[in-house]
Structure 1
Amino acid sequence: MSFPGIIRRLFANNGAGPLLRGDILPLNYGTCSTAAGTAAKVVSIPGFALATGAEVTVRFTVTNTASSPTLNINGTGAKPIQYRNAAIAAGYLAANRTYRFVYDGSSYELVGDVDTNTTYTAATAAPKAPASSAAVGTSAKYAREDHVHPVQESVTGSSGSCSGNSASASKLSTKRTIGGVQFDGSANIHHFGTCSTAAGTAAKTVALSGFVLATGAEITVKFSATNTASSPTLNVNNTGAKGIRYLGAAVAAGYLAAGRIYRLLYDGSYWNIVGDIYIHAGSVSEEQEALRLSMIGVPRYWRSTTLPAHHCWANGDFVEFADWPELKKVYDAGGFKGMLMAWDADEETQAANLGMWRPDAAKPTGLFTPNLSGQFFRNWAPGSEKGAGTWGRDEIRNITGTFGIDYAGIKGVSGAFSYTGAQSSTTNNNGSNRQDSVRFSAASVVPTGQENVPPHVWQPLVIYLGRSAQV
């Protein structure tokens, strides 16, 4: 999958980790059912590409009886199977066992160890009675072959007294620590705590029962409020306030986000955040969601004449809140302020405000969209000559021209006027007259056509309505 494809999948999945491994990174698992005596083993794993470092997991349905087997995955070529850099012997790949292999450029190397014992078999006889019930042996150094060590029942107190023979111990006599938390075996332990310290308080505190501060101690903390105080400290179980560091520097305001869980390790001086954190105001998924919500009700150009899902045409149609709850949420929050006309606006007002939304009633059940079909966009900003969403009528530039007349005829023609010539005529008294003609044409001054329009293209326009009620 290409890198952009992975990014799109991350957003589609909201960064959810479990799906990433199987959905973006192939699991590379297959079953080999090749006959036991056939050395050329084959496996089908969709999407597999042979490359140095490629890893696969294979379950064999039968134990191989052929030595020096090969493995061919998805027809990428038969490559030797090796264990400890040597060819696999017969019987090494056991039926219904699952093995991990890595391709080193020439062979599939088996990862880990396999049981190659052919000398000893597993014990099947039940253990004999304890030595205390058998006759006394004669050796002062070695236990009899039927000797069984009794198991202590419990260990209590600092002296470590014990009693009885049993198969369990209730707890350790001396407490130990695991990652900084005391453990004696008598109860479960964990390393998780919640920090509810106010956002503006730099001295953060966490309660974690049994915690002991020591170099290498690790804890997991959920912060209930985003820190607004820089250089915060952390005090776990009153073991002392220690600075919180990220990448070797003091944590800045906003780094510890509300509702986030962080892993911290104590290095002897500071609590260090383990791994990477997104150091902006919100995560990528949060910013993506905020951007999606901000697009609800916004007209935008579209690449096709086929309406995309969760959109409508910007043609004055009615959309119901029951079908589009996110659109209603934007309306209720005042998201259309300045772009709404009165629900009972007359036809003249509606025609003068084609770019505005209109509720269908005083207590609306939905909105009529802006009617932008066939209209041009003109950018609005505070201080513009007209209000946002208002409509401009059909207008043209003034077209002018001049010409003069004297006894000799037409002269001084300019602008939209042009001289078309003169002709003579005879009157009833046998006199003659001269007739001059002038033609008016706007095309001689400006481009003309069927409409008064600026340069333009016809582009589909849609409006995002948010997620529908059925999603």
Structure 2
Amino acid sequence: MANLSEQESWIDGIYQLETSDPVVAGPGGISNRQAEQLASRTAYLKKMQETTGESLQLHLAASDPHSQYAPKNSPALTGTPTAPTTAQTANNTQIATTAFVKSAIAALINGSPAALDTLQELANALGNDPNFSTTIFNKLAQKLEKEQNGADIPDKAKFLANVGLKSAATRAVGSGASDIPDITIGDTRYLGKTATAVAATKLAVARTINGVAFDGSANISLTPANVGALPAAGTAAAATKLATARTINGVAFDGSANISLTPANVGALPAAGTAVAATKLVMARTINGVAFDGSADISLTPANVGALPAAGTAVAATKLAMARTINSVAFDGTANISLTPANVGALPAAGTAVAATKLATARTINGIAFDGTANISLTPANIGALPAAGTAVAATKLATARKINGVAFDGTADINLSSDFPVGVPIPYPSATPPTGWIKCNGQSFNKTTYPQLAGAYPSGILPDLRGEFVRGWDDGRGADAGRALLSAQGDAIRNIVGTIGQLNDRVNTTETAGVFDANKYTGAHSGLTGGNGGRIVTFDASKVVPTANENRPRNIAFNYIVRAA
């Protein structure tokens, strides 16, 4: 067996076999011509692909495959190369075109004063000093340090003599050339002994504290309304009514009083014999880790609910855990502190009352120190109030939790009271899987030791099979369904249907029957068919009038009957 002959050449056309062509195999045979031509094309394409791949590798390996192009590394461009002109705000590695440079220079010149918009004018302004920055720094080095307050003056005695401080104390007050000018009380420059900042009893400029005017002449008191709060008596801590009334099983409740729900409110049976009268839970529960079976009230401590005792909270704090300093004066909250003018950087006694920005005697506003140097803001805590967010208007929790039918309620959420069906009561349930503590009524047996209460309702230890069944009320002596025992089953049945047909002749016409009767079939040959010999027969079919099935039933919806087991 030999392979087809292949040529590495492109065949322009592929031969089409004709119906008249004979079957000729072998090299050059008509039967192999199409395959040879296609194989030649494939060999040609393979060669071109390999050539292209080799050329590409040579191209990639060449150090300068495109000699007509400038290299990426240090290109030497010829002619008039161009590039996009970037915005003046750019600060990156883009090429700066001549347009970008000219625009930047123009912006620099246009932003300069007219007298300094040339290099010559700038040089003249700097005194033609080529070392201008050095000259400036040398001059600055000769200046005195402000923080030294004169301590670094080389010749202090000569300085005092030059400013005349030594002779000022011996000069006379008068109008002479060397006298100290006399200023009378009427002069606006006069400073009275009682007009100094140390003795100031009123601010030159009145301030407002949380909107209340204050000039230092008297203490002021701010109300909760001034600081955006409500009185302490209206806070959530003392709330006796919810801002938003809740409904509990359809009964309105706002916390102002206890409410009582009836069995009807919770979808339960009357109190006699039901869980409504229960004084103890069948299965004890835990509330925040504390056992509770309903036989007695329980009390939860702050530790049970992850809280701190009220006596240890910040609301009752009288001392800071970590002492602070106020203008370098220690303060831990156990007592008031007094800051001196020096502590707060106040003006010296020579300061005038007209320019006073600080009270001689600091005042306290609701316990907060205030000396007039700046406005202050008081918090609700400063005036014995709570923040607006914690007031009764926005209360979402009762200060004192209530009990509704024995269920704790503090207003944080709606509650639902369980109807607590008695053990053994079957109820329709909308799911195939019953909840915990319930069993399907499917005829199954149960352990009477495990479920003693259920055994009291079903002594046989077997639940009724209610799958596909309708539940009927027990007759209990009424007489509507006499002779029945509790939990007894009853088969299906209907009331008897009777009727008569009058005298028949040899045939009954189809027009003479109606309703459940039909006369379209025959007797005789082909008996029972709709065509035949003999007389017609009359049939009875209730489906012609009412819906029918293989059972009697009313309209219904399927539920899963389950029974409470414990």
TM class, shorter-length: 0.3 to 0.5
Structure (1 or 2) with the greater helix fraction: 2
Scaled by the length of structure 1, what TM-score is found? 0.33
Task: Looking at secondary structure, tell me which structure has more strand per residue.
Answer: 1
Query: Which structure has more RCO (C-alpha within 8 Å, separation ≥ 6)?
Result: 2
Rg (Cα) greater in structure: 2
What is the TM-score with the length of structure 2 in the denominator?
0.28
